Amino acid sequence: MVVAHLLDMDGVLVRGGQAIAGSVDYVARLVAEGWPFQIFTNNSRFTPEDHAKRLRAAGFPVRPEHVYTSALATAQFVESQRPGSSAYVIGEHGLVEALRQTGCRITEFDPDFVIVGDTVSYHYEQIATGAGLVAKGAWFLATNPDATGPTERGFHPACGSVAALIEKATGRQAYFVGKPNAFMMRGALNRLRVQAGDTVMVGDRMDTDVIAGLESGLKTALVLTGVTTRADVERFPFRPDHVLERLADLRDFVTAG
């Protein structure tokens, strides 16, 4: 029996800033009927307030507390591992703000961490600076392993691709905090105060969304409105519980007790 939802955002709810057909009505139903849910995104560019505002502009009746991002998970990880630490950030204000709210100091002078997040305007100088700091001993984190992300112009290189540049240059591996890391999964479930077995993870990626749900004991649903095609599913040695054309089709498979 499913009573809670973790909903990926890009490719499930929206694509290129536009609502995917049926997704607004599905989320509106969750809100109206009081189902616990989190919009569970590896997109670290924006704060929960920004994400909620953008989603409301597309028609979704959501509030900031409905949004849980890899930036929030990364900030919580940093706070849990080294309270009061410092970081050099390659990313946007969503990640910077999340870190600052937990007391992390943002600096390029001898930081404890180098943290890579999402942005649509990566600068070579920042990547080179980050690589240099990692080579000197800074701990290397990244918000998510997604190699590409959808935009209005199509796909663009994302956090995982940029982290790979620094990994190649330094020989140091990044620790990815976002999906499919169980750390982020636990953070979202704790916010909802629900059990994994009572929750469905809905996403458009086999290698982050579906595997994250599978490894954390959630039900899983793959929608085909994002980066994964039905043929792509066969390349993986695991399968989601449901493969759906779009989020709206999930209503036939979930019930609340």
Active site residues: 8, 10
Among 86, 94, 91, residue whose Cα is nearest residue 69: 94
User: Any long-range contacts for 239-245 (C-beta under 8 Å, 24+ apart)?
Assistant: 240/206, 240/210, 240/213, 240/214, 241/200
Q: Which helix (H) or strand (E) holds 116?
A: strand 113-116
Instruction: Answer for the pair 9, 39: CB distance below 8 angstroms, yes or no.
Output: yes
Using CA atoms, how far apart are residues 247 and 25, in angstroms rounded to an integer?
10
- HSE of 219 in the Cβ direction (CA atoms, 13 Å)? 19
Tokens matching residue 99: 């870190």
Q: Which residues pair with 68 in a beta bridge?
A: 40
Instruction: Answer for the pair 57, 31: CB distance below 8 angstroms, yes or no.
Output: no
Using CA atoms, how far apart are residues 161 and 249, in angstroms rounded to an integer?
32
What angle is formed at CA 90 by the lines to CA 54 and CA 6, rounded to 5 degrees? 45
Among 81, 5, 77, 73, residue whose Cα is nearest residue 42: 73
Using CA atoms, how far apart are residues 217 and 200, in angstroms rounded to an integer?
9
Q: Which helix (H) or strand (E) holds 155?
A: strand 154-157
